[in-house]
Chain A
Amino acid sequence: MGKTIVALAFCAALAALPGCEKNETKPAEPAASASGAAAAAPAPAKTDTGGPIKVGILHSLSGTMAISETSLKDVALMAIDEINAAGGVLGRKIEPIVVDPASNWPLFAEKARDLIQNQKVAVTFGCWTSVSRKSVLPVFEELNGLLFYPVQYEGEESSFNVFYTGAAPNQQAIPAVEYLMSKEGGGAKRFVLLGTDYVYPRTTNKILRYFLHSKGITDDDIMEKYTPFGHSDYQTIVAEMKKFSGGKRTAIISTINGDSNVPFYKELGNQGIKAEDPPVVAFSVGEEELRGIDTKPLVGHLAAWNYFMSIDNAENKSFIAKWRAYVKSKGLAGGDKRVTNDPMEATYIGIQMWAHAVEQAHSTDVDAVRQAVGYQKVKAPSGFEIQMDAANHHLHKPVFIGEIKSDGQFKVVWKTPGPIRAQAWSPFIPESAKKVADWTYPWACGNCTEPKFSPGGGVLAKAP
């Protein structure tokens, strides 16, 4: 998948080459000049203008994903307000440009192009589903834009033009399965992999299947099931899961996305599947999703994230307080029932990192800012100082596993001692294990098996 995307981006960049000659593009680093896509494209923002810095917010405010993405738009505007109130960046205000791609994947690409080419935004914060990210990726690579992507995803990707502030599988899915297999997690021997039918669940489950194999669990003990987006009748699947369990310790790993989760959990409750055996661990259900559910039958089921609203520390307290105050001052729908969640935290961290990087680079130029974003550190609401990995463009994140409480919040039952580094390419998939995502010298690529530069300075391999 990643290969095709890079190839596509490269083709697009080649097509754009002749038109770019009159643009004065200043390559900031060898890596940048090496990547055909990056060096050939125009730099979208100039550094010397004194006006506000434009920033794109690309989240669906209507359609099926509005449920999840609206609050990311809100928290992004809050973070920008906060930076502006403190004097802005480089003495300039940040001006958010909010567009609505309406849960329509091709429209994401159009809106992204509009933001970069016409609005000349310095950076874009946006996307939720993997399919929307895959849709905008060629645009950002062709035009050398900068995207901060805030949602946990399936990995198997690392773009020069994207910073991933959500979790890769080894920062969410793998630790969760390890927990389920441990004694305190219930010692599961059988696994049901249940998901919505699209790229994120399918890829995650592929990685998990390889991972379970490596732990000695055979295909007989794995059941994989997919349902369409918006599926609402889980009677048969829940009955099948019960039958599949057959008395063995079973765990259900749910990558069901969007509002199908409500009928799924309702069915679990009604059919008497209790959290103590077998528990459901979900990767896409957070505080925001639980807001639309009667949580009583769900108590004890699990979710794995890198942040929970219930985490108790000073940073989180101030984050929640800021969010509450913002919701109140803007009179947002939902009022005091609004919650914070993991992708909101990731959005908030991303914006802070970008602002720090701009200050450090003394420029909003994409190539300069990209150099500065790597190694940025932020005291995150999760309670850890977390760092952006300059090599693979992913955030180092702590992992938490929480049990759902009756008030729709999570009680943390397990966590990593500290942040762990993301593996953009899963070591459990044989064909991915060899791949390296490293945007620093001498590798300078997100998807290759050999570095592109020799330590002596020569170019080793062609662009992928």
Chain B
Amino acid sequence: MRRLALVLWVGAASLLVVIARAYGADPSLEDALRGLTSEDERAVDESAARIVASPNASSALPALEALCDERLRASPDGSLFYTDEKGQVRRAITGAVAAAPADAKAVEMNNALRRVVLPLVARLRLGSPDVNVRLAAASELAKRGGADGAPLLRAAFEREKDRGVRDAIAVALARMDLSSAERATKLEALEVLRKLGDGSLKADLAPLAQDSDAAVRGAALAALGSIEGRERVVSLVGDLVHGVSLASVLLFAALGLAITFGLMGVINMAHGEMLMIGAYTTYCVQLLFEKYAPGAFGAYLFVAVPLAFAVTTFVGIGLERAVIRHLYGRQLETLLATWGISLILIQTVRLVFGAQNVSVANPQWLAGGVEVAHGLVLPYSRIAVVVFVVVVALAVWALLSHTKLGLLVRAVTQNRAMAACLGVPTSRVDMWIFGLGCGIAGLGGVALSQLGNVGPELGQGYIIDSFMVVVLGGVGRLAGSVAAALGLGIINKLLEPFAGAVLGKIAILLLVILFIQRRPQGLFALKGRVET
């Protein structure tokens, strides 16, 4: 019944178009836009074709972009409205500022429609003044554009000045030319793809590699070979980059522990919970920004970083004063006590925030990534974490080696009795340094909240890895922790493509065990006679 009604509706609409043509009027673009939202596939395709054919197609662009972002609304009488970037409601096509009727409904988007609309938007965007927009449009057309877009692309290629965009358009054109009947065109296209093609073209090239024409076959094989060569380089570089990124996460989780366990010798099983508290602080700051300063939402991390540091330092100092200082030198008891504290902290958080994970949104400037090569995207959030951990590690190093507190800390860790004799307030130094270790874990929590889950059990997933990094690096050595994190991260990522994530993890554990067997003191051993 519904289908019949649709067919009738489409029929009526096309009749109207015919009438409009007969009277010399431009077929309404808005009508075609409406057609896109139809549930009938053919009507959608027809409407898309009509928009492409229209000489004023570009006036439909803002509405189409709005459709992709679900900012387009339709009133019951069929007129379309969109909300532009500034929140201004405008009429589709004309762009005139208008008030949408209250009963206007948001036009829903789905994947089938996206597959029609995105190439359409890409075509219209080829004329954009922004280089990046043109580049994205050309890549989209290279992936999905139909052959009928060729003249448009050729025109764009002629007037294009930016090299990157020219290359992308050349690839899109070459892909269309692969199915050309002309042998010369085909060979030319293959040559272009050999130079510029990427992995997404392999499926198009595969049939040509079995072509009956030897020249075409050879060119196709050459193109495939050069594409695969590029892919190998990209994936090796990718593994290294991913390794560094994993290392930064490991280091963040372990850096605080390198201080509390490494320097002070406290087996702090509640270390993971400091990460968790840091992450929950980020969550709370985010909530406050959402509520009281939605305009400055992007800046919430800058508040979350010092606050998370302060909160976890405070918790750490409290912990040290209340429990840990009574247990110095009794490692097993410390282990049990901190394990109990970790359970208490987890359950407390669960009672306050619920057992569910909470959602920490990336600020806009951390979403997405930069595409270094085809298939290798560096997400901004990962880059930020790497930079952040480098800064924090340098700060910790500077603190330990260039400040008075650092001097006292090193004195206490190397020889507590002697330091005390010389008048160092060992108890207070312990308190501050434990607080610092926890505070750094809190910073780690802020970083982790940008990458993964924030839930009561967040810390549990990192505690083993943290101990592994510290032990492997050599207890008491910051540089060791850095080297161990880097080594573990990169080896893990190099293994993962061959062995899979599960086996990779097992292999890493085995390697660590073997290494510790050979070198129980870790990568960087403390020299001298003090640490016994």
Flag the segment in A167-175, A239-247, A444-452 that touches B.
Answer: A239-247
Is A270 touching B368 in the complex (CB atoms < 8 A)? yes
- If the complex has contacts A67-B356, A259-B453, are A243 and B111 also in contact, measured as CB distance less than 8 A? no
Check if B199 sits within 8 Å of A270, measured CB to CB: no
A184–B457 CB distance below 8 A: no
User: Which of B81-89, B466-474, B498-506, B522-530 is near enough to bind chain A?
Assistant: B498-506
* A contact residues around B350 at 8 Å (CB): 62, 66
Complex CA distance for A186 and B524, rounded to whole angstroms: 54
* B505 proximity list for chain A (CB < 8 A): 228
- The residue that A333 contacts in the complex, of B201, B246, B353, with Cβ under 8 A, is B353
Chain A residues lying within 8 Å of B381, measured Cβ to Cβ, are 266, 270
Interface size class of B (residues with CB under 8 A): 35 or more
In B449-471, the 8 Å CB interface with A consists of 451-455, 457, 461
Task: Kindly state whether residue A406 has any CB partner on chain B within 8 Å.
Answer: yes
Q: By the criterion CB–CB under 8 Å, are A236 and B493 in contact?
A: yes
> Does B242 reach chain A (CB closer than 8 Å)?
yes
Instruction: Bits for A2-42, please: 1 = Cβ < 8 Å to B, else 0.
Output: 00000000000000000000000000000000000000000
* Bound-state Cα–Cα, A237 to B246, Å: 13
> Is A67 within 8 A of B375, CB to CB?
no
Contact B235 A239 (CB under 8 A): yes
B226-256 vs A: 1/0 string, CB under 8 Å?
0000010001001100100110010000000
Q: Is the CB of B356 within 8 A of A271?
A: no
Do A294 and B360 touch across chains, with their CB atoms under 8 A apart?
A: yes
Residues from chain A with a CB closer than 8 A to the CB of B110 are 300, 403, 411, 413
A300, B353: Cβ atoms closer than 8 Å: no
Q: Could you say which of A246, A259, A276, A297 contacts B202, with CB atoms under 8 Å apart?
A: A246
Residues of A within 8 A of B182 (CB): none
Known A-B contacts A270-B367, A272-B368, A277-B115; A228 and B203 likewise in contact (beta carbons under 8 Å):
no
Collect the chain B residues with CB atoms within 8 Å of residue A228's CB: 501-502, 505
Q: Decide if A263 touches B453 in the complex (CB within 8 Å).
A: yes
Cβ–Cβ contact B356 & A248, under 8 A? no
A454 close to B (CB within 8 Å): no
User: Does residue A315 face the partner (Cβ distance < 8 Å to B)?
Assistant: no
Q: Scan B353-386; emit 1 where CB is below 8 A from any A CB, else 0.
A: 1111111111000011101000111011110000
**Structural contact, A235 and B382, CB atoms closer than 8 A:** yes
The docked-state distance in angstroms from the alpha carbon of A338 to that of B353 is 13
Q: How far in angstroms is the closest Cβ of chain B from A205?
A: 13
Given A263-B451, A300-B109, also A247-B501 (CB < 8 A)? no
> Size of chain A's interface in residues, with CB distance under 8 A?
60
B377:A291 contact, CB within 8 angstroms: no
Q: Is the CB of B108 within 8 A of A247?
A: no
B358/A272 in contact, CB under 8 A:
no
CB <8 Å contact, B502 and A226: yes
Which of B109, B245, B361 makes the CB contact (< 8 A) with A294?
B361
Shortest CB-to-CB span from B254 to chain A, Å, is 15
Is B496 located at the chain interface by the 8 A CB criterion? yes
With both chains docked as a complex, state the minimum distance between the C-beta of A114 and any C-beta of chain B, in angstroms: 23
Residues in A neighbouring B347, C-beta threshold 8 A = 62
User: A62 CA to B202 CA in the complex, in Å?
Assistant: 48
From B203, B453, B497, residue with most partner A Cβ within 10 Å: B453
Pair B359/A247 contact, Cβ less than 8 Å: no
**Judging by beta carbons under 8 Å apart, are A266 and B501 in contact?**
no
| CB atoms of A294 and B362 under 8 A apart | yes
Residues of B close to A262: CB separation below 8 A: 357, 452-453
Residue of B nearest to A228 (CB): B502
Chain B residues within 8 Å of A334, by CB = 354, 356
Could you tell me the distance in whole angstroms from the C-beta of B298 to the nearest C-beta in chain A?
14
- Whether the Cβ atoms of A64 and B70 lie closer than 8 Å is no
Q: Report 26 cross-chain contacts, Cβ distance below 8 Å, ordered by A residue.
A: A70-B356, A184-B112, A228-B505, A230-B461, A231-B501, A232-B451, A235-B246, A236-B239, A236-B501, A242-B199, A242-B375, A246-B200, A263-B453, A266-B451, A270-B382, A271-B369, A272-B377, A275-B114, A276-B115, A276-B118, A288-B356, A292-B453, A293-B359, A300-B109, A300-B110, A411-B110
By Cβ-Cβ distance, the 9 closest A-B pairs, closest first, are A292-B357, A333-B354, A270-B379, A247-B203, A246-B202, A276-B114, A66-B355, A294-B361, A235-B242
- For the complex with contacts A247-B200, A300-B109, 12 further pairs of A-B residues with Cβ separation under 8 Å are A225-B501, A232-B461, A236-B496, A240-B235, A243-B235, A248-B203, A259-B453, A270-B380, A271-B369, A272-B368, A277-B144, A334-B354
